[in-house]
A and B are shown apart, each in its own frame.
Chain A
Amino acid sequence: MRGLPHEAGGRALRRGRAFDLPGIGTIYAPNITPDSETGIGRYTDAQFDSAVRRGVGPGWRHLYPVMPYASYVKMTEEDVRAIRAYLMSLRPVHAPAPANQVRFPYNIRVAMIGWNLLYRPSGPLPDDPGRTAAWNRGRYLVEAAGHCGECHTPRTMLQALSMTKSYAGAMIDGWLAYNISSDVDSGIGAWSDTQLAAYLSTGHADGRGTAVGPMADVVSHSLRFLTPEDVAAMVTYLRSLPARRSDETIGVVSPETLAQLAPIHSNGERLFAGACTGCHLTDGHGRQVDFAALWGARSLGETDGRNLVRTMVEGGTLQTAHGAMVMPAFGPEYRNQDLADIANYAISHFGNREGHVTARDVAAARGGVSP
């Protein structure tokens, strides 16, 4: 899921976040409050359903698949109607969406007719009678409503989700959406059911780290409100995804091992002790809260530190049942090389790998450009 496209946080769904699509342009998620001019106030149930599940708005306006209608088409008509009923109960806000900036030939919206013929599934997935009710419910939540594959599955040249690499992980907005297939080395095959359920419902699992970036938004605004039964159903289905091996393998170093590591007296270690140990203890535990526990975190096993550097530069917020858990952003008081040193220390200490983060990577993350 791409964070929260219509901003259901403080500014309540009125104006969209921007999606930067390399080589294509910038697309803005529109107002979906009940405002009659700039929102969905005048949509009928049929028009709303068509936009959400067919990707065709009123006046035969073809939506771009940034709106994940290719996943939502698998939702039931009743659920989409229920979503509209909820949205119509919100306070209308008058706020036109900024104009999309889309390059040729992607700016030809009718081209989406052809894309839809090729890639949009025809409708809801019928329940598989050979599987349990929990598996079928989990499939519905993962494939349709949750649209997990929209970020976690790599895209083909034509921006369709790859069938052969389903859930094998993909880059999106400069973040690596991890491999969530059942592969033991590079997916979630080694996670326990308890860890998966904890991660989905709270954003943190002991020994697996804490959600940051777009996934923190997904947990903050969506997944943590699921019932325990639905979370368990998602776990059941995710477990059944075919294993897809990818380059990013997972390594877990236990707190017992971390506590025994001798100091290495590097610049990164020294800076980590001053700037990070207020919350992240070097034995991998969180000082105040478990949400700050770093042992087993995937971002610290990635040797190029993409997600780690983004998190250091942008900070992060995860909404929880105990309030917001906040990681402050590193500001200009730290040089690019300092942040690279901290990242490489953290990767070597917590991930037992040699980090390859450079000052250039940090500069690119600070500039908001992909390196």
Chain B
Amino acid sequence: MLTLQVNGTAHQVDVPDDMPLLWVLRDVLGLPGTKFGCGIGQCGACTVHVDGKAVRACSLPVSLVGRRPVTTIEGLAEDEVAAEVTKAWLEIDVVQCGYCQPGQIMAAIALLKGNLHPSDDEIDQAMSGNICRCGTYRRIRAAIRNVAGAV
């Protein structure tokens, strides 16, 4: 039995040590906002925050999370940076199909929390591991710039 801190709540989970965090979030804790994409850390669709850092939940064995707090897209309702990012996303209508967007948004929030005014290089560096098959990259970058300008 492991204790997992997710979105501010402690959960007891009875799962194998090597189960990826993504499986625990979606199938055990019922938090389907985090998406499965490639399963090998190549696409970024499953990005969540562990101790504030953007990580791929598909490639993190749950037993390695330890006491570090996990935040999923469901856990950001009260978050100020998240509110700004959501607003910026809606203003220029970033989303097309939307499947990768929870991961994109989690990556963008982690970037902005560490660096409120990222350069274009820093945006590219932080967002390169998040793939969007609809090709919304330019709008994602513009929305992040707008947040950086707004705060």
Does A278 lie within 8 Å of B129, measured CB to CB? yes
In the complex the two chains form, what is the Cα distance from A190 to B151 in whole Å?
A: 47
The count of residues in chain B whose C-beta lies closer than 8 Å to any C-beta of chain A is 23
- Interface on B for A, CB 8 Å cutoff? 16-18, 40-44, 53-56, 59-61, 63-64, 121, 124-125, 128-129, 131
Interface assignment of A11: CB less than 8 Å from any CB of chain B:
no
Contact A288 B41 (CB under 8 A): yes
Please indicate the chain B residues that have their CB under 8 angstroms from the CB of A321 in the complex: 17
Q: How many A-B residue pairs have CB under 8 A?
A: 55
Question: Contacts A323-B18, A328-B42; is A287 near B56 (CB within 8 Å)?
Answer: yes
Residues of A within 8 A of B129 (CB): 273-274, 277-278
Tell me the smallest distance from the CB of B54 to a CB of chain A, in Å.
8
Whether A273 contacts B60 in the complex (CB less than 8 A), given A263-B121, A287-B55, comes out as no
Given contact pairs A287-B54, A323-B16, enumerate 5 new A-B contacts (beta carbons under 8 Å): A277-B125, A279-B56, A288-B60, A289-B60, A289-B61
A 58-70 to B, binary, CB cutoff 8 A, 1 in contact else 0: 0000000000000
Instruction: List residues of A (292-324) whose CB comes within 8 Å of B's CBs.
Output: 321-324
Residues of chain B within 8 A (CB-CB) of A288 are: 41, 55-56, 59-60, 64
Q: Name B61's closest neighbour in chain A (CB-CB).
A: A322
Contacts of A274 in B (CB 8 A): 128-129, 131
Q: How far apart are the CA atoms of A219 and B148 in the complex, in Å?
A: 46
Complex Cα spacing A288 to B18, Å: 13
Contact A282 B125 (CB under 8 A): yes
- Return A163 CB to nearest CB of chain B, in Å: 43
B44 (CB) vs chain A CBs: closest residue = A278
A273 to B130, CA, bound (A): 10
Give chain B residues whose Cβ lies under 8 Å from the Cβ of A289: 59-61, 64
Asked whether any CB of chain B lies closer than 8 Å to the CB of A90, the reply is no
Contact of A322 among B17, B42, B54, B56 (CB under 8 A): B17
Task: Give A residues with C-beta under 8 Å from B.
Answer: 263, 270, 273-275, 277-279, 282, 287-289, 321-324, 326, 328
From A282, A288, A328, residue with most partner B Cβ within 10 Å: A288
Q: Are B64 and A322 in contact (CB under 8 A)?
A: yes
Expressed in whole angstroms, the Cα–Cα distance for A273 and B128 within the complex equals 6
Contact partners of B124 in chain A: CB under 8 A: 273
Residues on A with beta carbons closer than 8 Å to the beta carbon of B131: 274
The answer to whether A324 touches B18, judged by C-beta atoms less than 8 angstroms apart, is yes
A282–B64 CA distance with the chains assembled, in angstroms: 21
User: Shortest CB–CB separation between residue A282 and chain B, in angstroms?
Assistant: 7
B125 and A287 contacting across the interface, CB-CB below 8 Å: no
Closest chain A residue to B63, Cβ basis: A322
Which 8 pairs, one residue from A and one from B, show the smallest C-beta to C-beta distance? Answer: A323-B18, A273-B128, A278-B41, A288-B60, A322-B61, A278-B129, A279-B41, A277-B129
Question: In the assembled complex, how far is the CB of residue A326 from the closest CB belonging to chain B, in whole angstroms?
Answer: 7
A270 to chain B, nearest CB (A): 8
